[in-house]
Amino acid sequence: MEIINVVPHGYCQGVIRAIQTAVSTAKENPGKKITMLGMIVHNSYVVEQCRALGIGFVENPKKTRAELLDEIDEGIVIFTAHGISDEVRKKAEAKGLEIVDASCKDVIRTHSLVREHVKKGDVLYIGKKNHPESEGTVSLSERIHLITEEKDLDELDGLENVLITCQTTLSLNDTKKIIDACIRKYPDAEVSPEICSATRMRQEAVMKLKDTDCLIVVGDPRSNNSNQLQRIAYDAGIREAYLIGSVLELTEDMIRNKNRIAVTSGSSTPNSLTSQVTDFLKQYAESGQFILPKEAEVRLL
């Protein structure tokens, strides 16, 4: 059995910055109430690390960031890496909260792009419904229209001076198909794909895999970029692809009788989790014994 360590993998710069921001905020404000508005990044292990520093979280996938903010009445609020709308920022200021912004710079750049464009036209924003990044961007203006699939275009008419852009963590293949559909309806539209370099490089690395029986993606099920890596694997002709949160979710059926297994991870996955998976697979390849570590051993990151 050959184990392929797909490069790049692990934290992107936006996630590193968000975690560093959370850690420094906790260290510089001992005893002060600190609350994260949503998950800092979509990885439960990272969230638990922040909880250990005394950072609280308000999270509910059925609520908007503005609604979640109603649950924070004092102290410091940290905005997550996914970015935030002007409405939520103003609401936090009105509540007298101290704001710490951990937004990814790529998301901030997209916000600047669409803010400038809505002064003169409409924006077709390709993104995932109810994802915090899409929510934060679309909420910036009534002239920004969320496109989750091609048929959403049927509901739009009379748009002017159109800009087509997108969420930073989408599938390259799927996004291209929707962009093409947008251009067919608005042939004079300006196109500015905003899929970040970290997402792009990870997906391209998976696309280049050859003669691979199985891909293991280490990432949280709520992580959009991790889910896209699993989908890209099938587009690349890999017969089996699995998304697991940690080595504990591996099963012998996933890897038995495989000649070539590749391992990658989402950009919000700690490298330690990915290393534990590759180390386990190498041990299994050498010994043939499938003995998972104890949960406590995995959580000591």
The candidate with the shortest Cα–Cα distance to 191, out of 201, 176, 204, is: 176
DSSP string, 106-138: HHHHHHHHHHHHTTTS-EEEE--TT-HHHHHHH
Q: State residue 301's pLDDT score.
A: 42
Helix (H) / strand (E) element for 258: namely none
The predicted-structure confidence for 31-84, as pLDDT tens digits, reads as follows 999 999 999 999 988 999 899 999 999 999 899 999 999 999 999 999 999 999
The predicted-structure confidence for 219-266, as pLDDT tens digits, reads as follows 999 999 999 999 999 989 999 999 999 999 999 999 999 999 999 999
pLDDT category, 294, cuts 50, 70, 90? confident
pLDDT category, 297, cuts 50, 70, 90? low
Please tell me the distance from the alpha carbon of residue 242 to that of residue 169, in angstroms, as a whole number. 19
Mean per-residue pLDDT, 176-187: 97
Q: State residue 228's pLDDT score.
A: 93
Please tell me the distance from the alpha carbon of residue 202 to that of residue 199, in angstroms, as a whole number. 5
Find the range with the poorest average confidence among 59-63, 174-178, 216-220.
59-63
CB neighbour list of residue 301: distance below 8 Å, 6 or more residues apart: 45, 49, 270, 272, 273
Please tell me the distance from the alpha carbon of residue 68 to that of residue 82, in angstroms, as a whole number. 15
Task: Walk me through the domains of the chain, giving residue ranges and CATH numbers.
Answer: 2-11+199-299 (3.40.1010.20), 13-103 (3.40.50.11270), 106-195 (3.40.1010.20)
The predicted-structure confidence for 2-20, as pLDDT tens digits, reads as follows 999 999 988 999 999 999 9
Please tell me the distance from the alpha carbon of residue 109 to that of residue 115, in angstroms, as a whole number. 10
Catalytic residues: 133
Q: State residue 10's pLDDT score.
A: 85
Q: State residue 247's pLDDT score.
A: 94
The predicted-structure confidence for 109-129, as pLDDT tens digits, reads as follows 999 999 999 999 999 999 999
CB neighbour list of residue 23: distance below 8 Å, 6 or more residues apart: 53
Please tell me the distance from the alpha carbon of residue 227 to that of residue 217, in angstroms, as a whole number. 8
Q: State residue 296's pLDDT score.
A: 56
Q: State residue 282's pLDDT score.
A: 96
Specify whether the CB–CB gap between 288 and 258 falls below 8 A: no
The answer on pLDDT for 300 being more than 50 is no
pLDDT category, 154, cuts 50, 70, 90? very high
Q: State residue 293's pLDDT score.
A: 86
Pairing of strands 34-37, 56-58: parallel
Please tell me the distance from the alpha carbon of residue 226 to that of residue 249, in angstroms, as a whole number. 15
